[in-house]
């Protein structure tokens, strides 16, 4: 809609994770190098985490493109972690091109083992990549741990890459998954962009879209600063703000995007509302409800005379603990 108006050849801020639009910031380069190194060196277990909108899926698409260029690499790419252990194995084998019809879990594991041993004997690399891995249940993560045991005396037969939000780190740091955590050979984190990286990100995205460098800048330094402030350096939010800003500027027939346009877009998407404040208010209301329930419970036992709080140490302790938890909000 606005491409012709701004003399662009493509949408510069498309939300689709397209590797051709990949802007290699330092932290994205480091994360991509860590993933590729872990796979090609047969480290066995690699983990990438990052907040929502930091570009994890786009990074994975770039990794898959690199792997496709290598003739000795086969990979299975799983993006739905809400599966049963058997469905998990069926999906993996199907992605590797193996038949799964009418086979139980033992058959699936046997076939996968034969497949990996055959490829390993030829010095070929086999990879399992799990996106949105923070959704994986404890049962699936245990299956992943068992798959990491598929190895020879000197090599890992299956390279496993888990990619997810910080909740994945919390799961892997739990006591129940300590065996899985100890198998992680490479662990990297993808953070948001700083102000300078955000500026270069926007400028390079525009260059990829064919912006005319001889014209006045489509996004001035002040406009980019406003984008960074509202996006907090998250690439997905940068794309959302900039794309809608171009639509708004086109609708107003402006030759460039101004800071006022960014402010209007941020307001429409409620990016000017601090999440922490809203969360705090919600917590206050929730804690007030809990305290009210505790008071009602106390009154109930006292008024009916069924059970005295002063003579029941267990109930007294329970109420005092709940009260102390929420004391700051009283």
Q: Calculate the average pLDDT of the chain.
A: 85
Co-location of 160 and 256 in the same domain: no
Domain boundary among 268, 293, 312: 268
Domain boundary among 150, 169, 190: 190
**Is pLDDT at 52 greater than 90 in this prediction?**
yes
What pLDDT does residue 300 have?
A: 55
Residue appearing with tokens 């996968």: 112
Co-location of 137 and 123 in the same domain: yes
Share of the chain above pLDDT 70, in %: 82
Using an 8 Å Cβ cutoff, are 285 and 52 in contact? no
What pLDDT does residue 120 have?
A: 94
Considering the domain boundaries, does residue 111 fall inside one?
A: yes
Considering the domain boundaries, does residue 69 fall inside one?
A: yes
Domain boundary among 268, 290, 307: 268
When pLDDT is averaged across residues 172-184 and rounded to a whole number, the result is 91
Q: Which of 2-6, 39-43, 170-174, 295-299 has the lowest mean pLDDT?
A: 295-299
Co-location of 174 and 38 in the same domain: yes
Co-location of 114 and 221 in the same domain: no
Co-location of 34 and 85 in the same domain: yes
Cβ neighbours for 19, distance < 8 A, ≥ 6 positions apart: 58, 61, 62, 65
The CATH number given to whatever domain includes residue 259 is 1.10.8
When pLDDT is averaged across residues 161-180 and rounded to a whole number, the result is 92
pLDDT digits (tens, 9 = 90+) for 197-209: 999 999 999 999 9
Q: Which of 21-25, 78-82, 261-265, 314-318 has the lowest mean pLDDT?
A: 314-318
* Between 175 and 316, residue with greater pLDDT: 175
Domain hosting 227: range is 196-268
* Between 315 and 178, residue with greater pLDDT: 178
**Is pLDDT at 125 greater than 80 in this prediction?**
yes
Residue 292 pLDDT class (50, 70, 90 cuts): low
What pLDDT does residue 213 have?
A: 79
Considering the domain boundaries, does residue 21 fall inside one?
A: no
**What is the Cα–Cα distance from 260 to 226, expressed in whole angstroms?**
9
* Between 223 and 138, residue with greater pLDDT: 223
Considering the domain boundaries, does residue 206 fall inside one?
A: yes
Buried/exposed code over 21-39 (b: 16+ C-beta within 10 A; e: otherwise): bbbebebbeebbebbbebb
Co-location of 125 and 264 in the same domain: no
Using an 8 Å Cβ cutoff, are 293 and 301 in contact? no
Using an 8 Å Cβ cutoff, are 257 and 218 in contact? yes
- Picking from 238, 260, 236, 237, the residue whose alpha carbon sits closest to that of residue 249 is 260
Buried/exposed code over 194-209 (b: 16+ C-beta within 10 A; e: otherwise): eeebbbebbbbbbebb
- Picking from 205, 204, 199, 143, the residue whose alpha carbon sits closest to that of residue 13 is 205
pLDDT digits (tens, 9 = 90+) for 62-87: 999 999 998 899 999 998 878 899 99
Co-location of 254 and 290 in the same domain: no
When pLDDT is averaged across residues 43-57 and rounded to a whole number, the result is 94
Co-location of 237 and 151 in the same domain: no
What pLDDT does residue 80 have?
A: 84
The CATH number given to whatever domain includes residue 89 is 3.40.50.300
Using an 8 Å Cβ cutoff, are 272 and 230 in contact? yes
Q: What is 235-268 written as a DSSP string? A: HHHHHHHHHHHHHHHHHTT-SSB-HHHHHHHHHH
**Is pLDDT at 328 greater than 60 in this prediction?**
no
Considering the domain boundaries, does residue 242 fall inside one?
A: yes
What pLDDT does residue 278 have?
A: 44
φ/ψ of residue 45, rounded to 5: -135, 125
**Is pLDDT at 312 greater than 50 in this prediction?**
no
- Picking from 166, 141, 110, the residue whose alpha carbon sits closest to that of residue 45 is 141
Co-location of 176 and 223 in the same domain: no
Q: What is the pTM for the complete model shown? A: 0.78
Residue 322 pLDDT class (50, 70, 90 cuts): very low
Co-location of 257 and 280 in the same domain: no
What pLDDT does residue 308 have?
A: 45
In Å, how far are 187, 198, 203, 230, 240 from 192, measured between CA atoms?
Answer: 17, 9, 17, 13, 15
When pLDDT is averaged across residues 52-56 and rounded to a whole number, the result is 94
**Is pLDDT at 286 greater than 90 in this prediction?**
no
The domain tally of the chain equals 3
Other CB atoms within 10 Å distance of the CB of residue 68: 10
Co-location of 108 and 54 in the same domain: yes
- Picking from 164, 129, 124, the residue whose alpha carbon sits closest to that of residue 144 is 129
Considering the domain boundaries, does residue 166 fall inside one?
A: yes
Helix axes 275-304, 313-325, angle to 10 degrees: 160
Co-location of 120 and 43 in the same domain: yes
Considering the domain boundaries, does residue 323 fall inside one?
A: yes
Q: Which helix (H) or strand (E) holds 78?
A: strand 73-78
Considering the domain boundaries, does residue 296 fall inside one?
A: yes
């Amino acid at each position: 809609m606005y491409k012709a108006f701004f003399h662009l050849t493509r949408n510069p801020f498309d939300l689709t994770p397209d590797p051709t639009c990949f802007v290699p910031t330092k932290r994205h380069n480091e994360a991509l190098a860590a993933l590729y190194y872990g796979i090609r060196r047969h480290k066995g277990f690699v983990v990438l985490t990052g907040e929502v909108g930091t570009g994890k899926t786009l990074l994975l698409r770039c990794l898959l493109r690199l792997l496709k260029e290598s003739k000795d690499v086969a990979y299975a790419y799983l993006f739905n972690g809400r599966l049963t252990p058997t469905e998990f194995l069926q999906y993996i084998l199907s992605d590797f091109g193996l038949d799964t019809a009418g086979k139980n879990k033992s058959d699936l594991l046997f076939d996968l083992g034969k497949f990996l041993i055959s490829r390993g004997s030829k010095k070929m690399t086999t990879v399992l990549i799990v996106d949105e891995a923070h959704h994986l249940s404890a049962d699936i993560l245990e299956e992943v741990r068992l798959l990491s045991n598929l190895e020879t005396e000197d090599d890992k037969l299956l390279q496993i890459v888990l990619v997810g939000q910080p909740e994945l780190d919390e799961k892997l740091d739990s006591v129940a998954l300590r065996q899985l955590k100890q198998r992680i050979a490479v662990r990297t984190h993808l953070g948001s962009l700083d102000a300078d990286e955000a500026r270069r990100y926007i400028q390079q995205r525009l260059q990829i879209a064919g912006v005319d460098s001889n014209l006045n800048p489509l996004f001035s330094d002040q406009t980019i600063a406003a984008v960074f402030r509202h996006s907090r350096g998250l690439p997905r939010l940068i794309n959302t703000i900039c794309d809608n800003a171009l639509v708004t500027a086109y609708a107003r027939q402006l030759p460039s995007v101004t800071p006022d346009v960014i402010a209007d877009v941020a307001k429409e998407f409620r990016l000017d509302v601090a999440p922490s404040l809203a969360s705090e208010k919600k917590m206050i209301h929730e804690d007030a409800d809990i305290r009210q329930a505790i008071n009602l419970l106390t009154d109930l036992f006292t008024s009916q005379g069924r059970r005295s709080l002063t003579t029941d140490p267990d109930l007294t302790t329970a109420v005092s603990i709940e009260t102390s938890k929420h004391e700051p909000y009283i």
